[in-house]
Amino acid sequence: MIGKILMSGALGMLCVAQVASAAEGDDVPQRAQTVGDVIDRPGVLTPKGTWSFDSSFNYTQNSSNKVSVVGYTVLPTLIVGRIEVSDADRTTMTFGLTTRYGLTNATELEFRLPYVYRNDQLSVRPIQDGSNDDVINTTIDGGGLGDLEFAIRHQFNFESAPYWIGGFRVKSDTGRSPYDVSIDQGSNSFSDVPTGSGFWSFEPSVTMIYPTAPAVLFANVSYIYTLKDTVSIGDSKADIDLGDTISLSGGMGFSVNPSLSFSLGLSHKTILKSKINGSTSDEAKLLQLDSFTFGVNYAFNKQTSINVSAQAGLTEDTPDFQLTIRVPYNL
């Protein structure tokens, strides 16, 4: 679930190599390919009347280990009951197609179509029996359409830095919800892999970009509001209100030469507690997700570039590792 929330975030960690640029009055305005383009030209969105396309691949690896004790203590050295150790490894690959259109030199529209593939491996072993074999070893994989996304962004100023960009993103519930997938009672795992969150969400955001040659500083703040919905849990129905998300990120992009640039950034997300039927469960907790991102961008020409970024999780609830490859093409 955490991986899904992270992949459906709006601007999230804004890598400067991904920032668009087009000067008002340029003969052939283009989306920026490097940090140097952002320094030279004030516009940061898709130019009026033009299209840009973006193909992307995201690989996420997350693992967790848990020890469960079900029993009671008879003597200080004796536990009567069951002790289990579980190990879960989850791999998610997302293939995305994104298109953007410039309504004006200051406003752009965006649409994203994701396909999600997941592979979950779960092993559970009772250790109090002295067994060396996994009693339950479950592998679940599959894929499908993810949550479609729509966004609009507007740049508020051109004359002087820092440049401010406001955004509003809408995420649909077209992916397979975790509540639409049955639970296997033997392994206590999904019988099929979810490919979406199952809930509509809305995310306003504000981004700041400050060019200071040969670098560009950037920061982003956003709030993800998730609509509550009625879902089926077993034979009953419940009103689920997923916790909203507060997102903060910032960093720096550095221009190596006219074609090559790299970026460093930190991202923090606070996911508020979820509610069931209007009440917060005792088991619900506030999640703190922190990560570090390093990205490299290389421009082949004025139309095409490649961006590779790696993200490492810094807190327990954050995915261990994420790799993203993007290839934008500008018409």
Contacts of residue 25, defined as CB under 8 A and 6 or more positions apart, other chains included, come to none
Quote the pLDDT of residue 292: 97
Quote the pLDDT of residue 39: 73
Quote the pLDDT of residue 174: 95
Full DSSP string of 56-103 = EEEEEEEEEEEEEEEEEEEETTEEEEEEEEEEEEEEEEEEEEEEEEEE
What region does 200 belong to: left with phi over 0, alpha with psi -120 to 50, or beta?
beta
Set out the domains of the chain in order of their start, with CATH numbers: 2-330 (2.40.160.40)
98-123 CB burial, b ≥16 within 10 A, e <16: bebebeebbbbebebebebbbebbbb
pLDDT tens per residue across all 331 residues of the chain? 444 443 333 333 334 444 433 333 444 445 566 787 777 777 788 889 999 999 999 999 998 776 665 555 555 555 555 566 677 888 999 999 999 999 999 999 999 999 999 998 887 766 655 555 556 678 888 999 999 999 999 999 988 889 999 999 999 999 998 888 877 766 667 778 899 998 999 999 999 999 998 899 999 999 999 999 988 777 788 898 989 999 999 999 999 998 999 999 999 999 999 988 888 877 788 999 999 999 999 999 888 999 999 999 999 889 999 999 999 988 8
**Interstrand relation of 305-313 and 287-299 (parallel, antiparallel or unpaired):** antiparallel
Tokens describing residue 173: 């519930």
Contacts of residue 170, defined as CB under 8 A and 6 or more positions apart, other chains included, come to 149, 150, 151, 200, 201, 202, 203
Closest CA to 39 of 207, 217, 220: 217
What is d(CA 241, CA 279) in angstroms, rounded to the nearest whole number?
Answer: 9
3-state secondary structure of 36: helix
Angle at 19 between CA 18 and CA 22, to 5 degrees: 130
Quote the pLDDT of residue 319: 92
